[in-house]
Amino acid sequence: MSTTAAGPLTGLKVIDLATLFAGPLAATMLGDFGADVIKVEHPRKPDPSRGHGPAKDGVGLWWKLLGRNKRTLTLDLSAPGGRDVLLRLAAETDVIIENFRPGTLERWGLGPEELHAVNPRLVLARVTGFGQFGPYAHRPGFGTLAEAMSGFAAITGEPDGPPTLPPFGLADSIAALATAYAVMAALAGREKTGEGQVVDLAIIEPILTVLGPQPLWYD
């Protein structure tokens, strides 16, 4: 894409409420193609990627990666004032990406019902370890768990050695690609129905998909 031409997503407004790593990377990808992305951080607990891993000149390299093409503001979403500000922003936003544990936004009065009440066209993408529903929904989940539980780690490394995890955020990155794709599909659907949707993305599912028939072989 030309750095001088407007991107194909110019005019699309995105709010990034997520942290480490799949949700923010999905928002970054949308920003790479022209979307206007606002990154929301807690006023006392900034995004962990600012201090995660290596840094240069005091700036975390993960933050430089995930924070590109984004504007930032701070909100305490658990406080009434922060909730009110987010609802005002949501009224003029196309996409919100979040990765809190299921039920957290609802507890703050910011669940899909409240968000769609102020903006029926909003696409809400929810990225968690195991999805919004099911027996594992309320368990914390990270890419490392997805890489192990999917069976990926069991097929890497030496044949007679232990399961081997990738030395980078593989499951999170695949989930970010899947989230960005799902958001675009939801936006395309909105053009037909006029209504937004909720994207329920479990980090474990995209890596299961790219493993091909391996889970079926195991079964």
| Catalytic residue ranges | 172
- Compute the distance between CA of residue 13 and CA of residue 90 in angstroms, rounded to an integer: 9
- CA separation for the pair 22, 28 (Å, rounded): 10
* Cβ contact 172:143 at 8 Å: yes
Are the beta carbons of 123 and 95 closer than 8 angstroms?
yes
Sign of CA dihedral 194, 110, 97, 9: positive
Helices (H), 44-135: 61-66, 80-90, 104-107, 112-118
